[in-house]
């Protein structure tokens, strides 16, 4: 007779591990399944971990977790072919407790987080793939794994199986994602001497900087490039909606090479040595793409539930919070021994009331808007760069003449109206 657990969590990423951790802490008998050799072996993100949501689970985790650097400066570059307008915020308050966020390398961090969950009593089994949910009388009662004698049962199953969530798809919770609902991010980890990193990015030891790059980083396709500082490596990458890559017929690694060789980026990474190449899909469908997240005996968390705020590059924090909210719901369901959809649907409500639901709702049309109207990235960023160049180039022309030139560069009256209308529309989807 196969063993029965209170709960099976599928996937040891931030969502699954957070959920398993909280459950075990409350005395729930939980099995955490991971397909990789160890948690983190197959997990990818650009590298920003937010302190608050992690601390909701493990207070003062930063005292022992394997983090790279606390981020003290966030830069944003609006980049053209050989120019860029950069704005940034640097605040030393982010460099001391309680910190704001950190760069992390997921292979290390996820492993540590899962170890913490095991200390709480989670049973972690790696190198095991959950291939389908076992459904009896319309109720999920366990999962089937790829191993011999691989069926395993539980009162409730949490699907934290990542962006493609094949298990949720099999249950009919979502269809195959459209190419405009997922982004493809490719990145490299580049080894570079610690002191060189600190010099180039104007940092003290144990300070980090992130740079988000818009415009030519993606050759005008909707998406962003990024460059983050780790201890003695840099993470450089680029992510664009899959639909954009298809439309422009660009291969993802070509785009990454383009970013690495861009004259605005190259000096930062010069002399570094690639040590790792990673690529992953990111769910960026936003609010409209959130699938069904609760069913009889089953909950969906993290990327599997499309919980990513693409505009603010937040995802791991939403994953952790969703995992925690799922755990809260399961603990309540367990106390009443009711794992029906109507009980577990409390999770969806908690999710929508939290910052996750609020933020995703706020930006529900943003990605789709910029996807539909490519001129923001294709035309307006270069235009902004030209305007800055014009204004700051001292060539004897009067400032009034320069303003006239910039004004003319905006195009005909009709084009100017369109520009004004686009700015209004952008404000509307972002506000």
Partner 1 sequence: MLHIVACIKQVPDTKIIKMNPKTNTMDRASAPAILNPYDAHAVEEAVRLKKKYGGTVSVLTMGPPPAVKAIKKCIELGADEGHMISDRAFAGADTLATSYALTKALEKIAKQRPIDLVICGKMTIDGDTGQVGPGIARRLNIPPLTGVKKVVEINKEKGYAIVQRKLEDGYEIVQSTLPCLFTVEKEINDISFAPLPNMIKAARYQPTIWTADDLENVDRKQLGLKGSPTIVAKVWAPPKPEDGKLLEGSTKEKVEQLLSLVLAKKELFQ
Binding site for partner 1 (CB under 8 A): 2-3, 31, 123-125, 127-128, 145, 147-152
Q: How far is the CB of 31 from partner 1 (least distance, A)?
A: 7
Q: How big is the CA angle at 82 (ends 380 and 91), to the nearest 5 degrees? A: 80
Dmax (CA) of the chain:
87
Of 150 and 374, CB closest to partner 1: 150
Q: How far is the CB of 123 from partner 1 (least distance, A)?
A: 5
Of 145 and 367, CB closest to partner 1: 145
Of 49 and 152, CB closest to partner 1: 152
Q: Looking at residue 303, what DSSP letter applies?
A: G
Of 127 and 199, CB closest to partner 1: 127
Cα separations in angstroms, 406 against 39, 135, 387, 388: 53, 64, 6, 9
Q: How big is the CA angle at 282 (ends 82 and 245), to the nearest 5 degrees? A: 50
DSSP, residue by residue, 14-71 = HHHHHHHHHHHHTT--EEEE-SSSSTTTT----SEEEHHHHHTTSTTGGGTS---EEE
Instruction: Give the tokens for residue 374.
Output: 């490519």
Q: How big is the CA angle at 228 (ends 227 and 229), to the nearest 5 degrees? A: 130
Q: Which residues pair with 102 in a beta bridge?
A: 49, 70
Q: Which residues pair with 50 in a beta bridge?
A: 101
Residue 230 near residue 103 (C-beta atoms within 8 A)? yes
Q: How far is the CB of 109 from partner 1 (least distance, A)?
A: 16
Of 128 and 322, CB closest to partner 1: 128
Q: How far is the CB of 168 from partner 1 (least distance, A)?
A: 22
Q: How far is the CB of 2 from partner 1 (least distance, A)?
A: 8
Instruction: Give the tokens for residue 56.
Output: 């909701």
Of 143 and 234, CB closest to partner 1: 143
Q: Looking at residue 376, what DSSP letter applies?
A: I
End-to-end alpha carbon distance in the chain = 56
CA pair distance 23, 239, nearest whole angstrom: 34
Of 38 and 76, CB closest to partner 1: 38
Of 147 and 251, CB closest to partner 1: 147
Residue 4 near residue 134 (C-beta atoms within 8 A)? no
Of 3 and 401, CB closest to partner 1: 3
Q: How far is the CB of 192 from partner 1 (least distance, A)?
A: 18
Q: Which residues pair with 8 in a beta bridge?
A: 31, 157
Q: How far is the CB of 191 from partner 1 (least distance, A)?
A: 13
Q: How far is the CB of 40 from partner 1 (least distance, A)?
A: 12
Q: How far is the CB of 115 from partner 1 (least distance, A)?
A: 12
Residue 363 near residue 309 (C-beta atoms within 8 A)? yes
CB under 8 Å to 272, separation ≥6 — which residues? Answer: 190, 191, 192, 233, 234
Of 126 and 429, CB closest to partner 1: 126
86: enclosing H helix or E strand = strand 84-90
Of 158 and 381, CB closest to partner 1: 158
Q: How far is the CB of 154 from partner 1 (least distance, A)?
A: 12
CA pair distance 245, 240, nearest whole angstrom: 7
CA pair distance 355, 320, nearest whole angstrom: 12
Q: How far is the CB of 111 from partner 1 (least distance, A)?
A: 11
């Amino acid at each position: 007779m196969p063993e029965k657990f209170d709960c099976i969590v599928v996937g040891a990423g931030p969502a699954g591990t957070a959920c398993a951790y909280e459950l075990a802490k409350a005395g729930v008998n939980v099995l955490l399944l991971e397909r990789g050799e160890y948690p983190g072996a197959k997990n990818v993100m650009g590298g920003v971990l937010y302190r608050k949501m992690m601390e909701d689970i493990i207070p003062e985790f930063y005292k022992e977790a394997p983090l790279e650097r606390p981020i003290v400066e966030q830069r944003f570059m609006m980049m053209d072919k050989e120019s860029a307008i950069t704005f940034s915020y640097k605040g030393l308050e982010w460099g001391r407790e309680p910190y704001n966020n950190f760069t992390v390398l997921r292979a290390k961090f996820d492993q540590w987080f899962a170890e913490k969950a095991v200390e709480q009593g989670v049973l972690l089994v790696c190198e095991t793939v959950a291939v389908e949910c076992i459904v009896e009388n319309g109720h999920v009662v366990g999962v089937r794994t790829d191993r011999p004698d691989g069926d395993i049962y539980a009162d409730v199953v949490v699907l934290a199986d990542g962006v493609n969530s094949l298990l949720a798809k099999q249950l009919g919770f979502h269809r195959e994602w459209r190419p405009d609902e997922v982004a493809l991010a490719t990145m490299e980890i580049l080894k570079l001497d610690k002191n060189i990193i600190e010099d180039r990015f104007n940092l003290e030891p144990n300070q980090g900087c992130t740079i988000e790059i818009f415009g030519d980083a993606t050759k005008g396709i909707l998406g962003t490039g990024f460059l983050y500082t780790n201890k003695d490596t840099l993470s450089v990458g680029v992510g664009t909606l899959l639909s954009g890559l298809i439309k422009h017929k660009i291969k993802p690694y070509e785009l990454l090479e383009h970013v690495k060789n861009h004259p605005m980026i190259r000096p930062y990474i010069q002399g570094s040595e690639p040590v790792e190449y990673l690529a992953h899909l990111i769910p960026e469908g936003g609010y409209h793409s959130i699938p069904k997240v609760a069913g009889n005996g089953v909950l969906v968390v993290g990327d599997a539930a499309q919980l990513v705020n693409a505009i603010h590059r937040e995802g791991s924090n939403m994953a952790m919070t969703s995992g925690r909210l799922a755990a809260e719901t399961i603990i309540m369901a367990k106390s009443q021994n009711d794992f029906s959809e109507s009980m577990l649907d409390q999770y969806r409500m908690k999710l929508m009331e939290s910052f996750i639901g609020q933020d995703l709702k706020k930006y529900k049309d943003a990605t789709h808007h910029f996807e539909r109207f490519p001129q923001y990235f294709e035309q307006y960023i270069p235009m902004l760069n030209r305007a800055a160049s014009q204004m700051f180039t001292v060539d004897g022309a009067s400032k009034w003449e320069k303003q006239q030139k910039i004004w003319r560069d905006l195009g005909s009256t009709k084009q100017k109206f369109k520009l004004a209308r686009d700015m209004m529309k952008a404000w509307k989807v972002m506000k």
